[in-house]
Amino acid sequence: MDKVQILFLPLVDAENVNAQSLNVREIARRLDPERFQITLWYEQQPDSRLLNQPGIRLKKLPKRRKTSRILREMMADYDLIAYIDYSPASYLFLHLPRFLRRAKAVFHAEAPSAQLVNPSGSLRFLFEGVVSRCDVYTAITEFVASDVKLNIGKKTSHILPVGVDIGLFTPPATRSNAAPVVLFAGTVIERKGPRLMLEAAARFPQATFRIVGMAREGYDEVLRHRIAAAGLTNVTLDGPKSQFELVQIMRSADIFMLPSRLEGIPKVTLEAAATGLPSIVFRDYRTPSVVDGSSGFQVETDEEMMLALEKLINDRSLRMQMGEAALEHVAMFSWDIVSQKWQDAYLEIAASREP
Q: Each residue's pLDDT tens digit in the chain (355 positions)?
A: 689 999 999 999 999 988 999 999 999 999 999 999 999 999 999 999 999 999 999 999 999 999 999 999 999 999 999 999 999 999 999 999 988 899 999 999 998 886 666 778 898 999 999 999 999 999 999 999 999 999 999 999 999 999 999 999 999 999 999 999 999 999 999 999 999 999 999 999 999 999 999 999 899 999 999 999 999 999 999 999 999 999 999 999 999 999 999 999 999 999 999 999 999 999 999 999 999 999 999 999 999 999 999 999 999 999 999 999 999 999 999 999 999 999 999 999 999 865 4
Which pLDDT value is given to residue 97?
A: 92
Q: How many CB atoms lie within 10 A of CB 98?
A: 10
Q: Which of the listed CATH numbers 3.40.50.2000, 3.40.640.10, 3.30.56.10, 3.90.550.10 matches domain 181-333?
A: 3.40.50.2000
Q: What is the Cα–Cα distance from 211 to 342, expressed in whole angstroms?
A: 32
Q: What is the Cα–Cα distance from 180 to 315, expressed in whole angstroms?
A: 10
What CA–CA distances, in Å, run from 104 to 19, 192, 348? 23, 33, 12
Q: Give one DSSP letter per residue of 66-129, joined into a string.
A: HHHHHHHHHTSS-SEEES--SSHHHHHHHTS-GGG--SEEEEEE-S-GGGS-S--HHHHHHHHH
CB 242 within 8 A of CB 264: no
Taking every pair of Cα atoms in the chain, the longest distance, rounded to a whole number of angstroms, is 66
Which pLDDT value is given to residue 274?
A: 98
Q: Where in the chain is the domain with CATH 3.40.50.2000?
A: 4-163+335-351, 181-333
Q: Is 222 exposed, middle or buried (0-12, 13-18, 19+ CB in 10 A)?
A: middle
Pairing state of beta strands 279-282 and 104-109? unpaired
DSSP 3-state of 338: helix
Report angle CA 119, 82, 153 to the nearest 5 degrees. Answer: 55
Q: Any idea which architecture 4-163+335-351 has in CATH?
A: 3-Layer(aba) Sandwich (3.40)
Q: Is the pTM of this model over 0.85?
A: yes
> What letter does residue 166 receive in the DSSP assignment?
T
Which pLDDT value is given to residue 120?
A: 83
CB 88 within 8 A of CB 126: yes
| H or E, element range at 349 | helix 335-351
